[in-house]
């Protein structure tokens, strides 16, 4: 059975959006049906306008549909992407996640495959803490974390066992082939696990 995968991301200046498209490509290559969705912007217009890269990315991605709770309910696997903010998930992605209380209360977020990816400016700026914070939430969902691990050689060259990450170096280091390859691997791996879960009865 082909998995249904929702790639739900937030990106201010495009790095995480680039990873999201590569994750989606990997899931599609593994046979999944994919929805690529962005979390709604919550920052004030003045803040966005003060940063040309942010303003430009907002214009460039205005046609990407905004994520809704239905995208999670539809999916067998959900892959979240967020820039690192103070070593943590962005407010924008968290606002979307926090809107899922009604679905959480009904157990509708459980038993799906979940994974995450991030971009941070600096090498040790909190990539791993961001992904682990995201995975704390997945535990509350009753979801199943599908991390890349070291299950592909790309993890030794780029990527991490927690999820794909990128070092943007304040916009000086655009996404490279290795990060894209790690992201594609992650998308494919989640799609394969999600396909197994889609047909499974996890009632105990």
Query: Which residues are at the interface with ligand FMN (CB under 6 A)?
Result: 11-16, 83-87, 119-122, 125-126, 168
Q: 2 or 91: whose CB is closer to ligand FMN?
A: 91
Tell me the closest approach of the beta carbon of residue 15 to ligand FMN, in angstroms.
3
Tell me the closest approach of the beta carbon of residue 120 to ligand FMN, in angstroms.
3
Nearest to 146 by CA among 74, 82, 79, 73: 79
Q: Which residues pair with 79 in a beta bridge?
A: 7, 115
Q: 92 or 137: whose CB is closer to ligand FMN?
A: 92
H or E element that contains 34 = strand 33-38
Residue nearest to ligand FMN (CB): 125
What angle do helix axes 15-29 and 177-198 make, rounded to 10 degrees? 50
Q: 15 or 137: whose CB is closer to ligand FMN?
A: 15
Tell me the closest approach of the beta carbon of residue 11 to ligand FMN, in angstroms.
3
- Tokens in use for 201? 């009865």
Q: 18 or 77: whose CB is closer to ligand FMN?
A: 18
Gap between the Cα atoms of 174 and 12, Å rounded: 14
């Amino acid at each position: 059975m082909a998995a249904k995968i929702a790639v739900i991301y937030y990106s201010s200046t495009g790095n995480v959006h680039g990873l999201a498209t590569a994750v989606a490509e990997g899931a599609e290559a593994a046979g999944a049906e994919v929805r690529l969705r962005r979390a709604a912007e919550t920052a004030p217009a003045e803040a966005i306008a003060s940063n040309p890269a942010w303003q430009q990315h907002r214009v460039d991605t205005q046609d990407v549909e905004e994520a809704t709770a239905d995208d999670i309910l539809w999916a067998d696997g959900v892959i979240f992407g967020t820039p690192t903010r103070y070593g943590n998930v962005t407010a924008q992605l968290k606002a979307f996640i926090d809107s899922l209380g009604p679905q959480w209360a009904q157990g509708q977020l459980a038993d799906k495959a979940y994974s995450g990816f991030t971009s941070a400016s600096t090498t040790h700026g909190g990539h791993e803490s961001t992904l682990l914070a995201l995975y704390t939430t997945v535990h509350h969902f009753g979801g199943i974390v599908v991390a890349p691990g070291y299950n592909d050689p790309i993890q030794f060259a780029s990527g991490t066992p927690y999820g794909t990450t990128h070092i943007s170096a304040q916009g000086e280091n655009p996404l490279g082939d290795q990060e894209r390859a790690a992201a594609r691997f992650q998308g494919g791996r989640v799609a394969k696990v999600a396909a197994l879960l889609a047909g499974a009865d996890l009632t105990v």
